[in-house]
Copies of this chain bind each other. A is one copy, B any other.
């Protein structure tokens, strides 16, 4: 077993053994990038160390010694040599990047003797003392486990005593004093700082190994699903110094702009400085290029101006690295006395906006294949790009946190009632509607408000679903606030926010902030469209949308949807005149009265459908018949009941009685969906009439209509058959009346476990299935999505569930039912069209499942359409590899 690799012996594909940092250094060495030489001790050595009682494997010492000799020869210096000492750094580097989580020690090899040699060589006593005090500090803390604060305290005292602000202003005398005090601290703890450089080295190596198991590293791994047994590699590298005078400098750079993605070398540097200084923000860094200097209005000279040769060399390295690694690189460089070194290269982190541009540009430059470009952009980022975002540089005062239900940031005055939101909208004032929870009655207020904040509810609560459909910012389940409707205020701890106060909510993070927080609005850049076109060429899954209005349908079509997968007709039942007729229908005691009320709704509903059909010209439109229990349409509070009674000219007791009669213990499992259509066939008939009359009339306008009628909450073939018969009868009647022939389909939601279990029976008489995974998740788990927030919260904390099954499809349970339903359904009806229209239709992981399972399409809210297009393409690529 080989435990030590000299830089260049390994390559970029050996991350498992060399860690990410190590692999980058080896690879750069291989392709002749000027990297200070060094060697990597493998992760396997680290794993051995942990599994063998913190002892090193046999032969490791010997290997390290040989590598160190080789390094000495390379550098023409000797480790521990009094005249010409070699200094080294020891750095961790795991397979996956764990920035800042593990330890680093610099300047190893210094001691009272070698310091003199170094002073002689550099002529800079202060610099050498500075190196030494840093070594004592780092070694004392990391290896000898003396609290960091004890060193920090003395340093602070010293600065105060000297009357300076920065460590760099301390004189070499002060530093000499500091070094003594540091040595005393170490002694006080009964520890010894080893003078022997080899002993220093081994102390550092083992400390780096152990840092794999410090608390913050463990927590980071838990959060990022990094296995515990990977271990870290350890890189021992010759020190180079950017602070050896005016012909030295240090800096960091991105091969392209990580914020915008622009193909422009981007970076910062400091003359006569060490690496940390650039990021520490103590001195203002210089721009890299002249262009950059101009853009940032910097008065400091650029590298291009001061060191044109070095700049050219760096540009060539940039070119070489990008071409070699085929991605944006984040590099660190140091120039020691005119000589340029690259200390690190890694894939550069970027903003969502930049990710898109870089991927498309690199595909254009033929640096990467189209499919690779698609795989480079995380669909989650796409979602953020479509909404205004909180300016990352803004100062914010967070008062509470809820669940990030619908992305985007919004600012407005607090209102608590829908009517107030409507009133604000009329006055063109921005507002945030704050409710304990929302119900269909709030729909107008939600449409008027600029953002929604609720105290209760989960990621798939009414508020969450509706606002995502509207593409409107929403924070739900903000349990820590206390809403007082009566006094029109809410409290959080000691803070009281009243009606009219200005707040900002961030639907991407769940933050609730005071005042108007600055936002940035990202636009649909050209690259964005081009990326999605690439995705469209690749993907197999269709992408439809869940839209209930012509406006939403238009939004979704602009975002590239290929049809409507779910048009919920009940949302059309609210608002003005409609709700009145709907309530008349519900209050009705006889079929005749019901039909009279339905006749009033018919023309309105027909107009809704006409609008949608026009927008979706040439694309299929799935319309679901009435789904929610009727009591959702009745008022609940006494005042509203009295008002309705007056309007309808009946006694309040009549309405009260109806509300009572219709109330249900578990409305989710109650009289809804096809069950309504079966007990009141006239409702289904009216809806079918509205759909087919609209379809015929719009067809006459020269528009191509492809209607698909969907029956909800089906648990048996008999239920479906009953409703299908009503729809088909009406469809034929109307097409005959209007003299129009058109293709149409009648299909069903699969949203109850039983429907999946007997899918073969249903598929015999159904044209399509659409998995309603929201409800299917509810019944499969026995979770009510209105009540589940606090359960999921505690489950996540206890590690019982690692994800929210209402956001990401539960493959083991719900997914099993989907697979079973698909298999059984296609067995009796090979032409069955199968899609998914739950919230999961817009979730990338769930879309991957749909691709693997062989569904025909996913359907999601309009603002999720671009996400789904990209995710579908990625799923196709991933699963055909």
Contact = CB atoms under 8 A, between A and B. Distances in A.
A784 B718 contact: no
A813 B754 contact: yes
Contact of A800 (B718, B784, B798, B800): B718
B791 A675 contact: yes
B678 A782 contact: no
A753 B675 contact: no
A758 interface: yes
A13 interface: no
A716 B800 contact: yes
Given A668-B666, A782-B779, A678 B798 contact: yes
Contacts of A801: 716, 718
B664 A665 contact: no
B752 A671 contact: no
Given A666-B784, A780-B779, A753 B800 contact: no
Contacts of A754: 780-782, 810, 812-814
A599 to B, nearest CB: 23
Interface residues on A, range: 35 or more
A670 B786 CA distance: 9
Contact of A784 (B670, B757, B798): B670
B817 A782 contact: no
A722 interface: yes
Nearest to A660: B436
A279 interface: no
Given A757-B780, A800-B719, A678 B775 contact: no
Given A678-B795, A758-B812, A787 B671 contact: yes
A669 interface: yes
Contacts of A666: 666-669, 784, 786-787
Contacts of A794: 678-679
A713 interface: yes
Nearest to A714: B782
Contacts of A715: 780-783, 813
A687 interface: no
Given A669-B668, A800-B718, A800-B719, A775 B782 contact: yes
Contacts of A227: none
Nearest to A680: B794
A722 B780 contact: no
Contact of A670 (B716, B787, B810, B812): B787
A799 interface: yes
A783 B722 contact: no
Contacts of A757: 780, 812-813, 816-817
Most buried by B among A670, A782, A787: A782
A654 to B, nearest CB: 14
A270 B775 CA distance: 69
A729 interface: no
A665 B787 contact: yes
A728 to B, nearest CB: 17
B719 A665 contact: no
A591 interface: no
A798 B719 CA distance: 10
A770 interface: no
A636 to B, nearest CB: 13
Contacts of A670: 784, 787
A778 interface: yes
Contacts of A780: 715, 752-754, 757, 779
Interface in A719-763: 719, 722, 751-754, 757-758, 761
Interface in A654-684: 664-671, 675, 678-679
Given A669-B782, A753-B817, 8 more contacts: A668-B782, A678-B795, A678-B798, A679-B791, A679-B794, A718-B800, A753-B779, A754-B782
22 contacts: A666-B667, A666-B786, A669-B782, A669-B784, A669-B788, A670-B784, A671-B790, A678-B798, A678-B800, A718-B799, A751-B782, A752-B780, A752-B781, A752-B782, A753-B753, A753-B817, A754-B780, A754-B781, A754-B810, A754-B813, A754-B814, A757-B812
9 tightest A-B CB contacts, nearest first: A669-B784, A666-B784, A754-B813, A665-B786, A753-B753, A752-B782, A718-B800, A664-B787, A666-B668
